[in-house]
Structure 1
Amino acid sequence: MTVSLLSSSSSAGFSLVETGFCYHSETNDYKIVKISYCNWSLNLGGTPLQAEIYSMNSGSWKRLHPHFTPDILLFNIHTDLFLIPFFSGALHWMVYVSKGKEEPARPFILTFDVNEEKFRMMETPFAVIRSYLCPLVFKGKLALTEKERDPLFLNVWVMKEYGVHQSWTKLFVVPSTEL
């Protein structure tokens, strides 16, 4: 398959842009989902989040309309060099949300269902940010790695039943001597 250069989209001026890549089997189409975030737009009364999807079949971008509450003040996407996991028909991003300066940010997993083209928020086993978290797929299950710095260790959590918050289970801990 040869892919031509992507047409431009409207993420200019955004402070953070993250992308996920997936295959939509029902339409035999490869897609790129792009989330752009601009924290200064809140001060101007704008929306801090913009989302778009690119279809390889059509060769064009389409604007998505995520329905997030307007009181979200913090929306940090932490993927760094990791691939965005595609699991159970959805892409999964790690996000941190705060609804006010007095409330600590809470970690969530932002999912994008490729069939429905809808975003959803999935709860993590954590009430507040404690560490660096990264979603992944582990042995056919949605999982999270939790990296603590002091002392340094890595926890691996697995969601035993997809979409059920109560099914998060800590599988194991890797101590700092092993990292």
Structure 2
Amino acid sequence: MMETENTDLPHELIILILQRLPVKSLIRFKCVCKSWFSLISSDTHFANSHFQLTAATHTHRALFISTQTRSIDLDASLNDDIASVSLNLNSTDDYLVVSMSDDHSPQLLEVFSLRGNTWKQVKGTHIQSMHAVEDDQKVGLFFNGAIHWFAHCLDLQKDVIVAFDLTERKLLDMHLPDQYGYEFDCCGLWVFREFLSLWARNYDNDTVEIWVMKEYKLHSSWTKTHVLPIDAIPTKYFSPLHSTKNGDIVGTNDHTMLVKYNDEGQLLGHCYCNDPHGTQVVMYTESLLSLPGDNVQA
């Protein structure tokens, strides 16, 4: 490792440049000099600034978790290589686990803080008005500082979206679109163009409908934006994951294949992305942040 860095550029400018580089490049550049090693490895302010810039300007990636964990840039071509990665976490100064227990009546909602190493029960909520739905719907969607999932509200006798605000530690209900009449086993939540969005499979005509809440928490802002034909997909199933910078919609068929549509709803192509036994798929943003009390870099 070099003892000194190139001083042709001001130190502040070097930091601004490094903050805009991918994590993979930064990990390599730790060996340039001692000051870069210290900056990239242990400077919390640098790591937070890098994460904020990455989340705002860089592409998001999908993580395929199976017998082999792999990652892909969904803004790239489906024919590009899918990179193998190791599992490391990225996020904020604390990591929270939200648990809803089915073994209690009323149901018990608890939050675990990794930094504090404590579980806290959320009180004063209407959690008792909900019951759990299908197992594959229990994993919530993180959006706008809250975790969202489907539930059936017994008080209202209707299906709703429930959001748990991680900052306020409060639950709120959001009604589904008025014309939305699908069962939970054929629909899902995702983020489309920075909006909370729903997708639902229409079994009658082999299409997937996409609904967007254009103003968060405002029921009247629900708008149906796309109807995607899925008859050309071998499994006739499509679950959206991500909308690219140029408006394409990327998703999976049954967690073994990536499928891409353009903004006009035309099928652009598909490719197999993992083993035939299926896998879990999650979206993530690369960062240098590490778990509290851990020195492993993400």
TM beyond 0.5: yes
Match of 1:97 in 2: 153
Match of 2:219 in 1: 165
Quickly say closer, same or farther: Cα 1:69–1:76, change in 2 above 3 A. Answer: closer
Which structure has more relative contact order (CA 8 Å, sep 6+)? It is 2
Instruction: Return the alpha-carbon distance in structure 2 between the equivalents of residues 128 and 171 of structure 1.
Output: 13
Quickly say closer, same or farther: Cα 1:58–1:87, change in 2 above 3 A. Answer: same
Match of 1:87 in 2: 143
Instruction: Return the alpha-carbon distance in structure 1 between the equivalents of residues 127 and 140 of structure 2.
Output: 24
Match of 1:141 in 2: 195
Instruction: Report how many residues are paired.
Output: 143
Deviation at 1:129, TM superposition (A): 4.5
Instruction: Return the alpha-carbon distance in structure 1 between the equivalents of residues 124 and 198 of structure 2.
Output: 24
Instruction: Return the alpha-carbon distance in structure 2 between the equivalents of residues 81 and 35 of structure 1.
Output: 12
Choose between structure 1 and 2: higher helix proportion: 2
Q: Based on CA coordinates, which of the two structures has the bigger radius of gyration? A: 2
What is the identity percentage for the equivalent residue pairs of Structure 1 and Structure 2?
Answer: 28
Instruction: Return the alpha-carbon distance in structure 2 between the equivalents of residues 151 and 82 of structure 1.
Output: 28
Quickly say closer, same or farther: Cα 1:138–1:82, change in 2 above 3 A. Answer: farther
Instruction: Return the alpha-carbon distance in structure 2 between the equivalents of residues 91 and 31 of structure 1.
Output: 11
Match of 1:15 in 2: none
Deviation at 1:93, TM superposition (A): 0.6
Match of 1:175 in 2: 229
The answer to whether structure 1 residue 50 and structure 2 residue 76 are counterparts is no
Question: Alignment RMSD, CA only?
Answer: 2.9
Q: How big is each residue's C-alpha offset from its partner over 1:151-177, in whole Å with a ceiling of 9 and x where there is no partner?
A: 432111011111111111101112241
Unaligned stretches of 5+ residues in structure 2:
1-89, 237-298
Matches within 5 A, 1:1-179: 23=91, 25=92, 28-38=93-103, 46-47=105-106, 49-65=107-123, 67-68=125-126, 72=129, 75-78=131-134, 80=136, 84-99=140-155, 105-126=157-178, 129-131=181-183, 132-178=186-232, 179=236
Deviation at 1:130, TM superposition (A): 2.6
Quickly say closer, same or farther: Cα 1:110–1:69, change in 2 above 3 A. Answer: closer
